[in-house]
Structure 1
Amino acid sequence: MTKLKKEIRQQQVEKLSGFAETAEKNAEDQVLLKNIMNSELLDKCQSIGITSSLTYEVDTSGLIAQLWDQGKDVYLARANDNSERSQDFIYYSYMTKLTKSKFGVAEVSEPDAQINNDLDLIIVPGLAFALDSHQRLGFGGGYYDRFLAKHPSSKTVALVNSKMIFETAAWKIESTDVPIQTIITPESILSK
């Protein structure tokens, strides 16, 4: 039986917030970072879209630093203030000024910063991921699903810790939900 997305989101935020306080989460974040860096996913990718993580999400700060060290172009997601709930990916270097969005996420604050929505790879955040269908449960705004539907040529990957894993989706899958191509867990890399 599928539960309401809102209910599962709330449960996941509580579960992940508790997990964020543990050494186990930090250890899993390090394994996930190692797994993506050692995978072939980044080999042919130059432009990579990513989100600056919240405390209960998989930490992306170390990944961003390693991508810079490899000479990759990093673009941070930024939600647009419009009724379409759209987002863009904005060029991000260690010199870039950031501000907190209304969602509490660090975003590029420079108004004339370079936008690149034609990315080689997008690292997609979420609260829960179904291993069988590669469906994700996001935060409810639909920003990523809308973006991915408009930009289907970008490869997608998600870094998924043990508390985000669902064998199958416990939530209702909508026709607008876009599955993630590759899911990286602490134990494996699953491609669709």
Structure 2
Amino acid sequence: MNEKKWVRERIKSKLSLLESEKRTSYNQGILQQLQQLDEWKSANTIATPISFRDEVDTYELLTKAWEQNKTIAIPKTDFSTKEMSFHVITSLKELEYTKLGLLEPRSEEYRVTSSEIDLMIVPGLAFSKENGTRLGYGGGFYDRYLNDYTGPKISLAFPFQVIPTVPSEKHDVKVDKIVCPLQVITYK
């Protein structure tokens, strides 16, 4: 088994074993830390995935953003081209499940360009404490998209998702900050 696959499996296992009360506590801490960041406070348009499986919960993030009159853009993936685009939503009712179980915008309308996004919430399974390298699910969608994105890139992580180093390749894009329940790790 290659190193990336091994790390993915290890973190997926830890995510699935995280107790409900601990998960809730972690999610609340992460959201509180995120809202204190200047990048959050100054952002008008925030791009974020809808949490998938056992990831850090982004539903409360959406609610807080809408309460603060922020615009939310959600990714839509095209597996035939391996590309991703972001589309503004104003309600969870505008989402639908894809064949892989991801919640994505139902419509192709209201597309935003990377230059219109003020803050990018970048998902991942594991993150390098050393330098902000992230390990995703292996599709490369975010790495391709982030090549053209120049704004702040922030990931949300449970403490055990931040490990000393993450196996990476030349094309892997690093994040600027990792928000954990009790700390924010900054690289830029």
* TM-score bracket, shorter-length normalisation: over 0.9
Query: Contact 1:49/1:76 (CA < 8 Å) preserved in 2?
Result: yes
1:125 is aligned, of 108, 123, 126, to 123
Match of 1:27 in 2: 25
Write the deviation string for residues 58-97 of structure 1: whole angstroms up to 9, x where unpaired: 00000110001111110001112423x1101110112652
Please tell me the residue identity of whatever aligns with 1:149: N
Query: Contact 1:120/1:154 (CA < 8 Å) preserved in 2?
Result: yes
Identity %: 27
Say whether residues 1:39 and 2:37 are aligned partners: yes
Distance 2:90 2:143 in 1: 26
Say whether residues 1:53 and 2:51 are aligned partners: yes
Distance 1:25 1:96 in 2: 25
Write the deviation string for residues 125-154 of structure 1: whole angstroms up to 9, x where unpaired: 100011111001100000001100122x12
Q: Unpaired runs of 5+ in structure 1?
A: none
SS of 1:24's partner is helix
Give TM-score, length-normalised by structure 1: 0.90
Distance 1:69 1:62 in 2: 11
1:162 is aligned, of 137, 144, 159, to 159
Match of 2:135 in 1: 137
Q: Unpaired runs of 5+ in structure 2?
A: none
* Structure number having the greater helix percentage: 2
Query: Contact 2:87/2:109 (CA < 8 Å) preserved in 1?
Result: no
SS of 1:37's partner is helix
1:180 is aligned, of 175, 178, 181, to 175
Say whether residues 1:88 and 2:85 are aligned partners: yes
Q: Please, which moves more after superposition, 116-125 or 129-138?
A: 116-125
SS of 1:178's partner is coil
**How many pairs align?**
186
Query: Contact 2:125/2:135 (CA < 8 Å) preserved in 1?
Result: yes
Match of 1:150 in 2: 148
Distance 2:74 2:15 in 1: 22
Query: Contact 1:91/1:116 (CA < 8 Å) preserved in 2?
Result: no
Please tell me the residue identity of whatever aligns with 1:147: Y
Q: Which runs of 4+ in 1 moved over 4 A?
A: none
Q: Please, which moves more after superposition, 3-12 or 23-32?
A: 3-12
Q: Please, which moves more after superposition, 96-105 or 181-190?
A: 96-105
Query: Contact 2:114/2:148 (CA < 8 Å) preserved in 1?
Result: no
Distance 1:116 1:154 in 2: 12
Please give the root-mean-square deviation of Cα atoms over the aligned residues, in Å. Answer: 1.7
Give TM-score, length-normalised by structure 2: 0.92
Match of 1:108 in 2: 105
Distance 1:163 1:12 in 2: 8
Query: Contact 2:85/2:111 (CA < 8 Å) preserved in 1?
Result: no
